[in-house]
Amino acid sequence: MTKRNTQQRRHTILARVNQHGEVSVEALALEFETSEVTIRKDLTALEKSGLLLRRYGGAIALPKEIVAKGDEKRDTLRKMAIAKAASALIKDHNRIIIDSGRTTAAMIPELSKKRGLVVMTNAMNIANRLLSLENEPTLLMTGGTWDPHSESFQGQVAEQVLRSYDFDQLFIGADGIDVERGTTTFNELVGLSQVMAESAREVIVLVESEKIGRKIPNLELPWQQVTTLITDNLLADDTRKAIEAKGIQLICAEA
């Protein structure tokens, strides 16, 4: 399939979505006489361009109310900047873990040009996005017990699976950063995060600047387990210095 034909197909898919309000992967695959994998990649590309919304088994047209307010747009831009800075640390053929979370999920489109990746995740939404990438990284999943709070698999089974592998990098978010102690979370299930950190040579935390200084009772990863912290460029200078004094590599992405 040439690039021209791909563009024509995606243009027609978008027209179908806008005309009918929704489309299914199965119906589109039959119409275009192609695989469902190809159609899912088309829908992912169109969603990335902000032209439709993916839904299970297909896609829907963008509702008028989807237009984000100014603060929401800025929040999205910051997540994308942090995700881009994180993905720049990944080399071809790396073995990585991507933990559940909106900021970590924002990394997935940035991985499309990486070759030979092996990616472990505990989140189904991240797994589905990885499967839609044209470079087709090798996907591993932890399995385990589904936790609706974090929308991810947790528990002893997941921990045992992770201990069977070794990885170059872990990419993980946080609900808060205690500048003195490390990353914090509202979730009391921190065992898997700690095993993830133990299984990777580098631990890279992705977090927006407003979460830094937010003290939450549950310590997730102490600074001793963190290699790099990636945030946005709104971080105060004194906080930057305090984090760097802990021996952490600090990257402030320009949003």
Per-residue model confidence (pLDDT) at position 43:
92
Lowest mean pLDDT among 18-27, 48-57, 231-240, 241-250: 48-57
- Average pLDDT for residues 182-195, to the nearest whole number? 87
Cβ within 8 Å of residue 56, ≥6 positions away: none
Residue 94, helix vs strand vs coil:
coil
> How far is it, in rounded angstroms, from Cα 176 to Cα 34?
45
> How far is it, in rounded angstroms, from Cα 71 to Cα 97?
30
Instruction: Set out the domains of the chain in order of their start, with CATH numbers.
Output: 3-62 (1.10.10.10), 72-253 (3.40.50.1360)
Q: How much is the mean pLDDT over the chain?
A: 88
Q: Are strands 249-253 and 167-172 parallel, antiparallel or unpaired?
A: unpaired
Structure-token pair, residue 205: 């935390």
- What are the pLDDT digits (tens) for 1-57? 455 678 889 889 988 988 888 899 999 999 999 999 999 999 988 887 778 888 888
Degrees to nearest 5, angle at CA 136 with 23 and 16? 15
- Average pLDDT for residues 126-134, to the nearest whole number? 88
Residue 177, helix vs strand vs coil:
strand
Residue 69 has pLDDT above 70, yes or no: no
> How far is it, in rounded angstroms, from Cα 84 to Cα 2?
28
Per-residue model confidence (pLDDT) at position 68:
47
Residue 149 has pLDDT above 90, yes or no: no
Lowest mean pLDDT among 66-70, 146-150, 193-197: 66-70
The pLDDT confidence band at residue 70, using thresholds 50, 70 and 90, is very low
- What are the pLDDT digits (tens) for 84-110? 999 999 999 999 999 998 899 999 989
DSSP letter assigned to residue 202 = E
Per-residue model confidence (pLDDT) at position 67:
40
User: What is the sign, positive or negative, of the torsion defined by CA atoms of 211, 213, 217, 220?
Assistant: positive
- Average pLDDT for residues 47-72, to the nearest whole number? 69
Residue 235 has pLDDT above 70, yes or no: yes
Per-residue model confidence (pLDDT) at position 66:
47
Residue 65 has pLDDT above 70, yes or no: no
Is residue 130 within 8 A of residue 108, CB to CB? The reply is yes
> How far is it, in rounded angstroms, from Cα 61 to Cα 171?
32
Is residue 131 within 8 A of residue 139, CB to CB? The reply is yes
Per-residue model confidence (pLDDT) at position 57:
86
